[in-house]
């Protein structure tokens, strides 16, 4: 062990903290590898990512394949089946892993909820294949809405947990409709709790939850089994390690106020919005502080409303960036690796987002101009992306290859680059995914 | 339930209070046992209302501080009453039938079976931390909020409640100490689901369900007893409960030791926290009084007494937010009824800074002659017959003490004869002597 391991956490620099988290990722204590070969490959792959993240040159450009839920299709099943038949889902993912062969990272189904539990939950904000969407739909969809009213910022800030439980939940999830009847719970002592929870409708909600226990257990177990096997084979995962957080602006824009609501707020009550984001930032910082050692230090952060088309440069500078940057800094300080996923386009944002500590942030881009990104962020942030889904799904193999070659030429020099898709695919073909891996091996080797 | 008239916002606080008192004196939907009972109810309520407003009633009202005395009176152990709502009802109504008072004190109901199931750590009661034949329950103070947790509490009070306070104060909630924060909505439904998978939480939910089974019976017995006492002519001089902002932290969260340290080490945090709870205490008090249809809000006070803190500390920490709470209640037409446990001799001038007739002060061991000359000029005062006389004195001693109190405090109105504390173990003749004395010496001419 290096000497950072013996130094007290509070006295470490952020790089030392990050190194000890990287060590944990590199030497997972709870993984039993299938073979010494699997272990060797695992470490080789993780080292590749770590070097890229630190803006250094690894042996070659690492690749995050955009296979998304494609393994289901590869096995001849769809999202709907994955929701309901956990055994077939597991078989599909493992089959894909074996059929594909060498890759740098892999994991089980992402964001596929259990069908039976989803039925019982009756969410109003998520529609799923067979539950609000045609059964053969390729994925889930979020229904945005004004789930928090324009005049409710203060109620939210006074007691966010209370607001979540008594207001947001009943508005967004059918099963929790009954929580609407709860009184404010913050000063309840002893017996009063029982009085509040004795309501027959609330009791019914808890009974339903308890009845779903076995189903939930089956679903969790299946997912855990996939994860265990994938790791044992030597494929590291980038997700699920760090804290799942977004931009404070998106907390309100996506989840609570919706696009229309948040745009109105930027004009009608900008101070309220600022106050709420500052408040949200404190909540997130409290979660980040002393974050435990986890499988990997990477914090996946999907970003939405800050892209080039949702708001102006001035609005981005005023509303979006300051608190998002503060979240990054808090994560970095704790040795975590923020990995924002800039959905849409961030070409106009590049200059502003360069203002973070060198090698602290990993930017994953969707439709951003990557050559431009490399020019602005090179040496400051590792960048990730961005073969378009349209190319991966429909183009001939040669074009995928060429696209990757160009990206590597633009982004790889000097290190700090991970080849990836702009988004994930649900349909497509294995040959194009192989083409991406092949391109990295052929063009992405550092000499 | 009190409903506000349309012109509520235009009324003065005295007019608001008058509307509320009218509803209390003439309760809708209450069927009296007899015309005499109805006349008795109205006479008693009117007497209390006039005294509260510092007007001169027909005589000094007397609130016999019942406490748990009805159990002793019926020869039944308190423990039995705490576990048997039907028995409680019988025992309390027996007291109502046998003793005269201007008020019905309520049942002071303690839900022992519920506390058993929840494994309450902040309470002791007969058979649970106290001897089987104990005649009261006991609150167990502790540092249930740590010194460095003010910010957690302030940022997200319910999250603090669920993950810190409850696991520390109720055994059954211990598993909540290990769950991540509820402050993020992301994935919350799924997390609640995950909690239900954990057998430790299954136990929590089942316990709550079981405890909930006891509630309706207990609440109904409590309500029925109060209804029956009202129907016999005895009004309840209490529509809600509230506490001083300082005591929220001193009593419930930080404990005496903790709060004293905070006054020196982090005074700003206490102030910030008191500011936070103030509006919520106010809205809670208003809601309770509305629901009960009686404007009187009883406020047991603890850590502001003469011996707990210095004058300077009282004026810095205790009084400012407490004063604003009182003013907020008065402004809504409520009658704050602080009960100053211990002694308030050194506070009398400070607490006199209130609108005339806005507050009713109940004193325990405070010097009543001085109280009458100071705060008694602006507020109705009540109390302070000592428990020692009630428990161990003779009827003659009781009579003498009450007579002297009446002579000292009654002139000009604004006095309610009552105890310094509750008379759980009193001698029956002493309770009767109180009422006899007030009838004999307390009549205004």
B174 and A CB contact within 8 Å:
no
Burial of A108 (0-12, 13-18, 19+ CB in 10 A): buried
B196 interaction partners in chain A (CB closer than 8 Å)? 206, 209-210, 212-213, 216
A255 and B CB contact within 8 Å:
yes
Contact residues, B window 133-152, toward A, CB-based 8 Å cutoff: 152
Whether residue B159 and residue A161 make contact (CB cut-off 8 A), yes or no, is yes
- Tell me what the mean pLDDT of segment A171-185 comes to: 90
Distance CA B131, CA A161 (A): 40
List the single residue in B with minimal CA-CA distance to A202: B209
**pTM score of the predicted model:** 0.85
Nearest alpha-carbon partner for B128 in B78, B53, B199, B195: B78
pLDDT at residue B223 in the model:
92
Nearest alpha-carbon partner for B271 in B309, B321, B313, B308: B321
At A341 the three-state DSSP class reads: strand
Whether residue B196 and residue A190 make contact (CB cut-off 8 A), yes or no, is no
What's the gap in Å between the CA of A119 and the closest CA on chain B? 13
- Give the bridge partners for A386, in sequence order: A420
Q: Which residue has the tokens 């006389």?
A: B389
Q: What are A23-35's pLDDT values in tens digits? A: 999 999 999 999 9
DSSP B269-301: HHHHHHHHHHHHHHHHHHHHHHHHT--EEEEEE
- Closest by Cβ to A194, choosing from B114, B159, B169: B114
Question: What ipTM goes with this model?
Answer: 0.79
pLDDT at residue A240 in the model:
67
Nearest alpha-carbon partner for A60 in A70, A45, A79, A81: A45
- Tell me what the mean pLDDT of segment A401-424 comes to: 96
CB count in 10 Å sphere of residue B425: 16
At A303 the three-state DSSP class reads: strand
- Tell me what the mean pLDDT of segment B245-269 comes to: 97
Interface test with B, best of A186, A196, A283 (most B CBs within 10 A): A186
CB count in 10 Å sphere of residue A261: 19
Q: What are B135-182's pLDDT values in tens digits? A: 888 999 999 999 999 999 999 999 999 999 999 999 999 999 988 888
A91 and B CB contact within 8 Å:
no
Distance CA A413, CA A410 (A): 7
Whether residue A188 and residue B161 make contact (CB cut-off 8 A), yes or no, is yes
pLDDT at residue A1 in the model:
40
> Does A214 score more than 80 pLDDT?
yes
- Asked if omega into B384 is within 30° of 0 (cis), the reply is yes
Distances, alpha carbon A110 to alpha carbons A3, A297, A305, A428, in Å: 37, 18, 22, 18
A189 interaction partners in chain B (CB closer than 8 Å)? 122, 252
- Closest by Cβ to A216, choosing from B170, B197, B205: B197
List the single residue in B with minimal CA-CA distance to A114: B190
Interface test with A, best of B192, B201, B274 (most A CBs within 10 A): B192
- Side-chain half-sphere exposure of A170, counting CA atoms within 13 A: 14
Nearest alpha-carbon partner for B421 in B136, B74, B102: B136
pLDDT at residue A189 in the model:
60
pLDDT at residue B99 in the model:
96
CA of residue A59 relative to chain centroid, distance: 26
> Does B239 score more than 50 pLDDT?
yes
Average pLDDT over chain B, rounded to an integer: 94
A216 interaction partners in chain B (CB closer than 8 Å)? 193-194, 196-197
What helix, strand, coil percent values describe chain B, rounded to 5?
60, 10, 30
Q: What are A416-430's pLDDT values in tens digits? A: 999 999 998 988 899
Q: What are B328-370's pLDDT values in tens digits? A: 999 999 999 999 999 999 999 999 999 999 999 999 999 999 9
Which of A240-254, A275-289, A422-436 is the least confident region? A240-254
Distance CA B151, CA B149 (A): 5
Spatial neighbors of B178 by CB under 8 A, at least 6 apart, are: none
Q: Which residue has the tokens 């957080």?
A: A245
Nearest alpha-carbon partner for B350 in B383, B311, B309: B311
- Give the bridge partners for A339, in sequence order: A300
Give residue B414's pLDDT band: very low, low, confident or very high (50, 70, 90): very high
Are B354 and B326 contacting, i.e. CB atoms less than 8 angstroms apart?
yes
Interface test with A, best of B158, B274, B276, B277 (most A CBs within 10 A): B158
Give residue B183's pLDDT band: very low, low, confident or very high (50, 70, 90): confident
- Closest by Cβ to A160, choosing from B156, B194, B215: B156
Q: Which residue has the tokens 């102030």?
A: B271
Q: Where are the domains of chain A?
A: 69-237
Average pLDDT over chain A, rounded to an integer: 93
What's the gap in Å between the CA of A125 and the closest CA on chain B? 12
Percentage of chain A beyond pLDDT 70 is 97
Q: Residues A276, A277, A282, CA angle at the centre, nearest 5°?
A: 100
Output the 3-class SS for B322-362: HHHHHHHHHHCCCEEEEEECCCCHHHHHHHCCCCCCCCEEE
A197 interaction partners in chain B (CB closer than 8 Å)? 208, 212
**Pairing state of beta strands B138-139 and B123-126?**
antiparallel
Distance CA B315, CA B150 (A): 22
pLDDT at residue A190 in the model:
57
CA of residue B338 relative to chain centroid, distance: 8
- Asked if omega into B91 is within 30° of 0 (cis), the reply is no
Q: What are B94-130's pLDDT values in tens digits? A: 999 999 999 999 887 788 888 899 899 999 999 899 9
At B65 the three-state DSSP class reads: coil
- Tell me what the mean pLDDT of segment A328-353 comes to: 97
> Does A2 score more than 50 pLDDT?
no
Give residue B407's pLDDT band: very low, low, confident or very high (50, 70, 90): very high
Distance CA A303, CA A254 (A): 10
- Residue-range domains of chain B with CATH: 8-108+215-441 (3.20.20.210)
Q: Residue B355 corresponds to which tokens in the numbers above?
A: 């609108």
Are A99 and A273 contacting, i.e. CB atoms less than 8 angstroms apart?
no
> Does B257 score more than 70 pLDDT?
yes
Spatial neighbors of B37 by CB under 8 A, at least 6 apart, are: B231, B232, B233
Cite the beta strand spans of A139-238 per DSSP E: 141-142
Q: What are B287-315's pLDDT values in tens digits? A: 999 999 999 999 999 999 999 999 999 99
pLDDT at residue B163 in the model:
93
> Does B215 score more than 60 pLDDT?
yes
List the single residue in B with minimal CA-CA distance to A172: B189
Which of A63-77, A126-140, A176-190 is the least confident region? A176-190
pLDDT at residue A111 in the model:
80
pLDDT at residue A173 in the model:
94
């Amino acid at each position: 062990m290096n000497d950072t391991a013996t130094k007290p956490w509070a006295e470490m620099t952020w790089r030392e903290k990050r190194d000890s988290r990287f060590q944990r990722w590199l030497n997972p204590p709870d993984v039993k590898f299938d073979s010494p070969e699997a272990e060797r490959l695992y470490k080789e792959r993780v080292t590749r990512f770590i070097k890229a993240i630190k803006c250094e040159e690894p042996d070659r450009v690492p690749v995050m394949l955009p296979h998304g839920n494609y393994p289901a299709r590869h096995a001849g099943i769809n999202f709907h089946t994955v929701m309901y038949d956990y055994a077939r889902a597991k078989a599909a993912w493992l089959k894909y892993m074996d059929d594909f062969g060498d890759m740098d990272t892999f994991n089980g189904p992402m964001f596929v909820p259990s069908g039976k539990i989803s039925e019982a939950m009756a969410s109003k904000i998520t529609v799923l294949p067979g539950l609000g969407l045609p059964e053969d739909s390729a994925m889930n969809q979020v229904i945005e809405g004004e789930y928090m009213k324009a005049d409710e910022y203060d109620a939210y800030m006074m007691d966010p947990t209370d607001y979540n439980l008594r207001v947001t939940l009943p508005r967004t999830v059918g099963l929790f409709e009954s929580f609407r009847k709860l009184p404010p719970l913050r000063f309840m002592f002893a017996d009063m709790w029982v009085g509040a929870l004795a309501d027959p409708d609330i009791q019914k909600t808890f009974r339903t939850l308890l009845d779903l226990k076995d189903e939930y257990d089956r679903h969790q177990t299946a997912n855990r089994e996939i994860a265990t096997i994938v790791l044992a084979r030597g494929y590291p995962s980038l997700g699920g390690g760090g804290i799942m957080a977004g931009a404070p602006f998106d907390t309100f824009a996506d989840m609570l106020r919706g696009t229309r609501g948040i745009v109105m707020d930027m004009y009608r009550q900008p101070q309220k919005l600022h106050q709420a984001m500052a408040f949200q930032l404190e909540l997130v910082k409290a979660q980040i502080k002393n974050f435990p050692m986890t499988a990997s230090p990477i914090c996946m952060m999907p970003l939405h409303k800050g892209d080039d088309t949702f708001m102006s440069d001035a609005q981005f500078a005023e509303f979006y960036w300051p608190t998002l940057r503060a979240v990054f800094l808090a994560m970095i300080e704790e040795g975590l690796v923020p990995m924002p996923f800039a959905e849409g386009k961030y070409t106009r944002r590049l200059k502003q987002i360069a203002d973070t500590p060198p090698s602290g942030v990993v930017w994953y881009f969707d439709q951003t101009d990557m050559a431009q990104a490399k020019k602005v962020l090179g040496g400051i942030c590792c960048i990730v992306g961005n073969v378009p889904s349209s190319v991966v799904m429909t183009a001939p193999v040669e074009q995928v290859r060429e696209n990757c070659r160009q990206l590597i030429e633009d982004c790889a020099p000097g290190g700090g680059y991970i080849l990836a898709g702009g988004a994930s695919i649900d349909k497509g073909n294995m040959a194009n995914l192989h083409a991406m891996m092949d391109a990295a091996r052929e063009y992405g080797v550092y000499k | 339930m009190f409903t506000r008239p349309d012109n509520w916002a235009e009324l003065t606080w005295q007019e608001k209070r008058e509307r509320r008192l009218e509803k209390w004196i003439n309760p809708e939907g209450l069927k009296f046992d007899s015309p005499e009972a109805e006349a008795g109810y109205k006479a008693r309520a009117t007497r209390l209302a006039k005294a509260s407003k510092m007007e001169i009633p027909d005589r000094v009202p007397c609130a016999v501080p019942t406490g748990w005395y009805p159990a002793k009176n019926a020869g039944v152990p308190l423990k039995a009453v705490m576990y048997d709502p039907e028995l409680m009802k019988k025992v309390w109504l027996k007291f109502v039938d046998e003793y005269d008072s201007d008020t019905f004190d309520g049942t002071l109901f303690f839900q022992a079976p519920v506390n058993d199931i929840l494994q309450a750590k902040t309470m002791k009661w007969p058979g649970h931390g106290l001897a089987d034949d104990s005649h009261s329950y006991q609150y167990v103070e502790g540092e249930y909020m740590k010194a460095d947790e003010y910010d957690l509490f302030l940022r997200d009070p319910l999250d603090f409640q669920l993950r810190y306070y409850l696991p520390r104060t109720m055994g059954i909630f211990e598993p909540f100490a290990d769950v991540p924060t509820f402050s993020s909505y992301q994935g919350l439904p799924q997390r609640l689901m995950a909690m239900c998978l954990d057998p430790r939480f299954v136990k929590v939910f089942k316990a709550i369900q079981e405890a909930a089974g006891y509630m309706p019976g207990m609440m109904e017995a409590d309500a029925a007893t109060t209804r029956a006492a009202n129907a016999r002519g005895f009004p309840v001089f209490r529509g809600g409960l509230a506490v001083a902002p300082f005591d929220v932290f001193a009593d419930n969260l930080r404990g005496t030791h903790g709060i004293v340290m905070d006054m020196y080490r982090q005074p700003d945090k206490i102030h910030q926290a008191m500011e936070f709870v103030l509006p919520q205490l106010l809205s809670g008090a208003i809601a309770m009084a509305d629901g009960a249809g009686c404007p009187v809000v009883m406020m047991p006070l603890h850590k502001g007494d003469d011996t707990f803190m210095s004058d300077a500390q009282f004026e810095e920490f205790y009084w400012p937010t407490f004063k604003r709470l009182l003013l907020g209640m008065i402004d809504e037409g409520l009658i704050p009824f602080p009960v100053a446990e211990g002694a308030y001799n050194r506070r009398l001038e400070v607490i006199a800074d209130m609108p005339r007739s806005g507050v009713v002060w109940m004193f325990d061991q405070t010097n009543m002659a001085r109280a009458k000359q100071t705060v008694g000029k602006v507020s109705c005062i009540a109390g302070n017959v000592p428990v020692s006389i009630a428990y161990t004195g003779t009827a003659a001693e009781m009579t003498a003490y009450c007579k002297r109190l009446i002579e000292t405090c009654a002139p000009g109105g604004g006095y309610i004869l009552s105890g310094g504390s509750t008379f759980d173990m009193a001698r029956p003749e002493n309770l009767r002597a109180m009422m006899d004395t007030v009838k004999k010496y307390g009549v205004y001419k």
